[in-house]
Chains A and B, each alone.
Chain A
Amino acid sequence: MSEAVAELPAQASSWSGFRSAQIGWRNLWRNKRRTWLTSGGIAFAILLVMFSMAMQHGQYAAMMENATTLISGHVQVQATQYIDSERFEHTIDEASVLRRQLLALPDVVAIAPRVEAFALVSSDERSFAAQILGIDVAAEAATVRLLDMIDDGRVPAGPDEAVIGEKLARNLDVAVGGELVILGAQKHGGVAALVVNVVGIISSGMPDLDRSLLLMPIAAVQNAFGLGDEVHTLAIRIASLEDSAAVTKQLASRVPADITVRNWNEVLPGLEQAIEVDRLGGLIMYGLIIILVTFSVVNTFIMLVFERTREFGMLLAIGMRPFGIVGLVLWEAFFVWLVGAAIGAGIAIAIILGLADVGLYMGEAMEAMAAQYYMPPRLYPAFTTEVLLVSPLILLLGTQLAALIPALRIRRLRPVEALRSE
C-alpha cells in the first residue's frame, strides 16, 4: 500500500515559484524597521562601492590619458633592436614613408617623428651631457603636450634653434638668447657638431627632463648626426585611448618585421602598475564593505529564521517540503537585496550622472599636485558596465548566501519540536 503514497504527484514540480515570490515579498514587510535597516545597509554599500569605483575608473582614465599625451603618445613605433639596446644606430628607415602609411589608418590621429641622441652641450663656461630630441614641431604639437611646457620663449623654428630644460639652462648658465655648442657622435663614427641659439626654456616638473632635454627641429639633428630619412621613434596619438590595444595590434600588422609597435602600458609600465596597485587597494576596501554588510544580512536572517520557527514547523507539518521553505526565505533575501540595490544604485547613478559634466573638484592641495603631473584639477566619474554591475551582483550573491546559511537549518527542523517552541 505504500506505493499509494509514492504515486502522489511530486510537490517540487507542481510548486510554482510565483506564490513563493509573493510570500517572500509580503514577509519582507512583517518587520519594516529591520527590512529598512538591512536594505539600507545594502543600499549604502552599493552606493559607496559604485561611486568609488566610478571615481576610480574616472581617475584611471584621466591618468592614462594625461600620462600618455604628455610625451610618450598612446602608442609608439620603434626598431625592435632600439627598444632592446637603445643604441643610436638602430633607427627606422624610410621613416616618412612609414609615417604616411600609418597616418592613413582611420584610428590614427597624429604621428610625431623623433630622433634621440646623446651629446655634450657647452656654453661659454660649462659643459653638460644632454638628451637631444629632434622633433617635427607641428606633428609634435598635434600628438602630445610636450611643447606646451615651454614657459619661457617659443618653439624652435629654424635649424639653429633649440629649447632646453630649465635645470640644464641653469647648469649651463644660459637664458633665452644664449648660444650653445653641441658635440656628439654620428651614426657612422664622424663628429656631429652644431651651434644653436636658445629660443625657449622648458620646465616640465620632471627632474630627468628638466636636467637633460634639448629640443631641436628634426631635420637639423638628422643632418648633424649623419642620419637620412631615419627616426628612432614614431609617437602616435589615436582617436580613443580605450581602443589602444586593438589599434596597436592593427599597427603591428602594417610595419616591417624588424619594427615593434608598443601600447602605452608597455611604454609606461610604471603607470599600469600604479593603477593596478590602486585598483587592488580599492578591491580590498570594497571587499571589506561587502563582507560587513553581508554579515549584517546573516544576522538579520538568523533572527528571522529563529522568530519563525513555529510557522516553519506548521508549514512542515501540513506537508510543505523543507526546500520549499528555504525557497521562501531566499525570495525574501532577494527582495531585501532588490530594495537596497534599487535605492543604492539609483542614488549612485544620479550622483555619477550629475558629476559627469561638472566633475568633482579635488581641493587646492590636490590641484597643485595634479597640475604638477599635468592632471586636471577635477575628477570625472566614469560609468562602465563594471561599475554598474559588480557591486550589485556581488551583494546579490552575498545576500543569498547570508540567507541560505541560517535557512539551511530548516532542513533539520523537526515539525513536532518546531511546533512546541515558543
Chain B
Amino acid sequence: MSDVVVRCSGVTRTYQDNAVPVVALQGVDFVVKRGEFVSLAGPSGSGKTTLLNLIGGLDRPDSGTVEVDGVTLNDLSESELSDLRLHQMGFVFQSYNLIPVLSAQENVEFIMQLQGVAADERRERASSLLKDLGLASMAGRRPGELSGGQQQRAAVARAIVTNPVLLLADEPSANLDSGTTQELLELLRTLNERQGVTIITATHDPMVMGYSKRQVNLRDGEIVEDNSSRAA
C-alpha cells in the first residue's frame, strides 16, 4: 500500500458558466501522504474549495490528473465517482451537512445504509461513534435541535463512520464561535493522531491552520507556499 493518498499533477480548472471565464486553479501539483492533516489556506476566491472538490471526486479538472489512493479519478464515470465518494471519502461542509428530518443517529446510520451495512451493525457503529464524539445524549435529536457545534460533530461522525481514506472539510468552522471551533479542531486532531485519519481542510480561519500539521497556501489558483515542516 502506497504512502501517497492524493496526487494532483498539473491540475487546472476554469469555470466557463459565466460570460467571463474564471480561472480557479492553474497548474496545481500537490501530494498528500497517508496520515497527514493538511489545511488549504488562502483568501476567499483563491481556489481552496475547487481543489478540495476535485480531490473529493465532486468535480473534474480541465487538465492534469487527480489520483486518490492509486485510482485516477479522471477515468471514472459519474456513477463510479458517486460510489467512490460514498466508500472512500468523508465530507464535512460549512453547513447543510445533515438530513434535517433524521436524528443524529439516523443521519450517521443513513450513510451506512447507502453502503449496504446490515441494520444491527449500523446501529452499533453509529451509537458507539456518537458516544466517542460526546454526542451520546444528542443521538435522538434532529439537526434543528442541535447547536452549530453539535451539528458539525454529527457531520464529522457521519463522515468518518465509513472509515474513509480521506476526510475532506470545507470551512468546517465558518459558522462556529471560537470555543466551539476549538472543540471541533481538537476532535479532528484526535482522529488524525489516534486513528490516523488523513484530513484535508479548506479554510481561511487561522485557528484551523494552527491545528493542522501542514499548511498549503493558495493564491489566484496557484500554490504559493507549502509548509511541510510540521509534517515530520
* A residues in contact (CB < 8 Å) with B: 1-2, 4-6, 8-9, 11, 13-16, 19, 23, 26-27, 30, 310-311, 314-321, 324, 414-416, 419
Q: Which residue of A lies closest to B94 (CB)?
A: A419
Hey, which chain B residues are within 8 Å of A6, CB to CB?
80
Hey, which chain B residues are within 8 Å of A4, CB to CB?
70-71
What is the predominant secondary structure among interface residues of chain A facing chain B? helix
Q: Which of B106-114, B129-137, B178-186 contacts A (4 or more CB under 8 A)?
A: B106-114
Hey, which chain A residues are within 8 Å of B115, CB to CB?
9, 11, 14
Q: Are B82 and A319 in contact (CB under 8 A)?
A: yes
* A319–B72 alpha-carbon span in the complex (Å): 18
* A8–B93 alpha-carbon span in the complex (Å): 25
* A108–B59 alpha-carbon span in the complex (Å): 78
Hey, which chain A residues are within 8 Å of B116, CB to CB?
9, 11, 13-15
In angstroms, how far is the closest chain A Cβ from the Cβ of B93?
Answer: 7
* B residues in contact (CB < 8 Å) with A: 53, 56, 58-59, 69-72, 75-76, 79-80, 82-87, 89, 91, 93, 96-97, 99-102, 110-111, 113-116, 158
Q: Are B114 and A30 in contact (CB under 8 A)?
A: no
In angstroms, how far is the closest chain B Cβ from the Cβ of A21?
Answer: 12
Q: Are A8 and B113 in contact (CB under 8 A)?
A: no
* A234–B114 alpha-carbon span in the complex (Å): 73
Q: Which residue of A lies closest to B83 (CB)?
A: A8
Q: Which residue of A lies closest to B85 (CB)?
A: A319
Q: Which of A27, A314, A318, A415 contacts B86 (CB 8 A)?
A: A318
In angstroms, how far is the closest chain B Cβ from the Cβ of A419?
Answer: 7
Q: Are B71 and A5 in contact (CB under 8 A)?
A: yes
Q: Are B75 and A19 in contact (CB under 8 A)?
A: no
Interface centre among A4, A5, A11 (most CB of B within 10 A): A5
* A134–B226 alpha-carbon span in the complex (Å): 115
Q: Are A317 and B58 in contact (CB under 8 A)?
A: yes
Hey, which chain A residues are within 8 Å of B59, CB to CB?
414, 416
* A162–B72 alpha-carbon span in the complex (Å): 105
Q: Are B114 and A11 in contact (CB under 8 A)?
A: yes
* A253–B101 alpha-carbon span in the complex (Å): 67
Hey, which chain A residues are within 8 Å of B113, CB to CB?
14-16, 19
* A26–B82 alpha-carbon span in the complex (Å): 26
Hey, which chain A residues are within 8 Å of B69, CB to CB?
1
* A8–B82 alpha-carbon span in the complex (Å): 11
A2-B72, A8-B87, A319-B87 are contacts. A311–B96 as well, Cβ < 8 Å? yes
Q: Which residue of B lies closest to A18 (CB)?
A: B113
In angstroms, how far is the closest chain B Cβ from the Cβ of A231?
Answer: 76
Q: Are B101 and A11 in contact (CB under 8 A)?
A: no
Q: Are A319 and B71 in contact (CB under 8 A)?
A: no
In angstroms, how far is the closest chain B Cβ from the Cβ of A98?
Answer: 73
Sorted nearest first, the 3 A-B pairs with minimum C-beta distance are A319-B86, A14-B116, A26-B101
In angstroms, how far is the closest chain A Cβ from the Cβ of B82?
Answer: 5
Q: Which of B56, B71, B114 contacts A1 (CB 8 A)?
A: B71
Could you write out 10 A-B pairs with CB less than 8 Å apart?
A: A1-B69, A2-B80, A5-B84, A8-B86, A15-B113, A318-B86, A318-B111, A318-B158, A319-B82, A419-B96
Hey, which chain B residues are within 8 Å of A419, CB to CB?
93, 96
* A326–B168 alpha-carbon span in the complex (Å): 26
Hey, which chain A residues are within 8 Å of B101, CB to CB?
23, 26-27, 30
Hey, which chain B residues are within 8 Å of A1, CB to CB?
69-72
Q: Are A416 and B75 in contact (CB under 8 A)?
A: no
Q: Assuming A11-B82, A16-B113, A317-B85, what are 12 further A-B pairs, CB within 8 angstroms?
A: A2-B80, A4-B70, A4-B71, A9-B115, A14-B115, A19-B110, A26-B102, A30-B100, A316-B82, A317-B93, A321-B82, A419-B96
In angstroms, how far is the closest chain B Cβ from the Cβ of A362?
Answer: 49
Q: Which residue of B lies closest to A314 (CB)?
A: B96
Q: Are A314 and B97 in contact (CB under 8 A)?
A: yes
In angstroms, how far is the closest chain B Cβ from the Cβ of A285?
Answer: 38
Q: Are B102 and A23 in contact (CB under 8 A)?
A: yes
Hey, which chain B residues are within 8 Å of A19, CB to CB?
110, 113
* A15–B110 alpha-carbon span in the complex (Å): 10
* A282–B69 alpha-carbon span in the complex (Å): 65
Interface centre among A14, A30, A317 (most CB of B within 10 A): A317
Q: Are B91 and A318 in contact (CB under 8 A)?
A: yes
In angstroms, how far is the closest chain A Cβ from the Cβ of B68?
Answer: 10
Hey, which chain A residues are within 8 Å of B114, CB to CB?
11, 14-15, 318-320, 324
* A8–B58 alpha-carbon span in the complex (Å): 18
Q: Are A311 and B87 in contact (CB under 8 A)?
A: no
* A415–B57 alpha-carbon span in the complex (Å): 10
In angstroms, how far is the closest chain A Cβ from the Cβ of B71?
Answer: 5
Q: Are A317 and B91 in contact (CB under 8 A)?
A: yes
Hey, which chain A residues are within 8 Å of B87, CB to CB?
5, 8, 319
* A317–B59 alpha-carbon span in the complex (Å): 10
